[in-house]
Structure 1
């Protein structure tokens, strides 16, 4: 007879990419996960994954079995959570991906009181600035900063995000302070590379305008982008949830070029067609209330 523990082990191994990582997520030993996977394969009479020292890949049988196996595991988890929620308790596993800088500065401090109040929620929070696909990467939801573009996702806005062009006093003293969009073309920029092209996008009365300043430095992390701007390496377009304190204390100076950057949001998104759990909705409501509108990190300067 097929055991649910074996199916769960198989799904976890595929989503994690290795037995070791699956064992960490399941809070089991590596040997237990391997044994459960081997027992499932024996029961099915088919090899589900190819194992090598470097990587793990699905067999043809494994790929065919994965979709239904994942559905079974989610249904079991949702059933257990529904029973707990009927008793007024939020419980069960939850896996969310979030960006590093926002997570460290604001998401973590907002989540800790919620998790303390709901100790039966088993939250795994993966901090990574790369763009992830919640469905294929096994997340219940993602939290992201930016424009909401993926139509395969259902997005809930948690907070508005105000972004400002900034530079250090040292940079402005050496290179001057731009006063218009066209002036930016003669300046060095520090760009967030996870957005793709090294450019800045602004709203004007004539429509959207894209500015491509000279590349001073490209970085895929918001904290380091902030540090590079403070060190005078170029002009940066930074959200106030990162740059607010350093603008207030004068280490960074806001640059007004007569146009505002395109609007962005902090949002939570889950795959389309997947019914979000009560605990995910509760976390989203808690974060929205905690961040506020306008968000607490966005005072007037």
Structure 2
């Protein structure tokens, strides 16, 4: 049996798009019967088109002996690689038919938890009001998702590493502030650049370490040795711990600024490292659809 490499090779040269669309319809609905009812097309027609596609590819895409539909490894590879592009083709057809590229369909966005809570609710509210034909889904998660495998149209990342599979734009800069509760004494006025000051600290599991922090203060650059007593998987939890007096923390300005403005947190200084970059990225092998462009326009207008 040919492997997924043969599937990809065939896709690039001579794919029957109608048969492929029928296969993805069946795969998405989990069976021929459900796909038939959803599309209002005969079950036998869908089965025949999938069989023809398998014959052309020389691979089996669906195991028909099981009670429920089960894709073969080749079937899963084909479905994952083509469901997004086919949806874009459908959107393009609708746009051409209507004479204008009107954003429509479902837009799935993955964003870090802090950004999703602090920045995106307002963006999402403005977007759905401006583009009522788009169903927007925003998933808050700190894991590094794959836009292809996880089926996202857009992923928002902080300081992303270069990746040839992704293209996008930087949407804003942020910086990390050293914050503390107002009742915690600030040791920096009497500290020197050569001697780190040790202070109880709270950190994020993924980003915090025990190395000294270089902090820009009103008295120049100072070193802080974090006595890391608590680590959390979310900066929201880090902030709550700092508010409760557990220690100091380096936190995104986007998250801390409201509590700083109300006096619940005070700023001891600014991280002396490079500024934080926040990027919106999409699969480089897919077209930039009108719904993605519209979302980015709303996003950049509000940050």
**What TM-score do the two structures reach when normalised by structure 2?**
0.70
Cα pair 2:243 2:265 within 8 Å, conserved: yes
Q: Which 4+ residue blocks in structure 1 deviate beyond 4 angstroms? A: 33-36, 38-42, 49-52, 179-185, 196-204, 209-212
1:191 paired to 2:193:
no
1:4 paired to 2:18:
no
Note the 1:1-301 alignment, pairs <5 A. 2=19, 4=21, 6-10=23-27, 12=28, 32=34, 43-44=50-51, 46=60, 48=62, 59-66=72-79, 69-70=82-83, 73-80=86-93, 82-83=95-96, 86-144=99-157, 146-152=158-164, 153-170=166-183, 172-173=184-185, 176-178=186-188, 179=191, 186-195=198-207, 213-256=226-269, 260-291=272-303
- How many aligned residue pairs are there? 262
* Distance in 1, Cα, partners of 2:192 & 2:34: 63
Go from structure 1 to structure 2 and tell me whether the alpha carbon gap of 1:8 and 1:263 turns closer, same or farther (over 3 Å shift): farther
Q: Could you give the per-residue CA deviations for residues 100-123 of structure 1, whole angstroms, max 9, x where no partner exists? A: 232222211122122112111122
Q: Could you give the per-residue CA deviations for residues 37-70 of structure 1, whole angstroms, max 9, x where no partner exists? A: x986784374637999xxx985333245335543
* Distance in 2, Cα, partners of 1:269 & 1:213: 33
SS at match of 2:263: coil
Q: Could you give the per-residue CA deviations for residues 223-258 of structure 1, whole angstroms, max 9, x where no partner exists? A: 11111111121221111221112112222111137x
Unaligned regions of 5+ residues in structure 1, if any?
14-18, 20-28, 292-301
SS at match of 1:103: helix
Deviation at 1:188, TM superposition (A): 2.7
* Distance in 2, Cα, partners of 1:166 & 1:51: 61
* Distance in 2, Cα, partners of 1:180 & 1:59: 64
SS at match of 2:129: helix
Deviation at 1:272, TM superposition (A): 2.3
**What TM-score do the two structures reach when normalised by structure 1?**
0.70
Go from structure 1 to structure 2 and tell me whether the alpha carbon gap of 1:167 and 1:84 turns closer, same or farther (over 3 Å shift): farther
Unaligned regions of 5+ residues in structure 2, if any?
1-17, 55-59, 217-221
Go from structure 1 to structure 2 and tell me whether the alpha carbon gap of 1:255 and 1:184 turns closer, same or farther (over 3 Å shift): farther
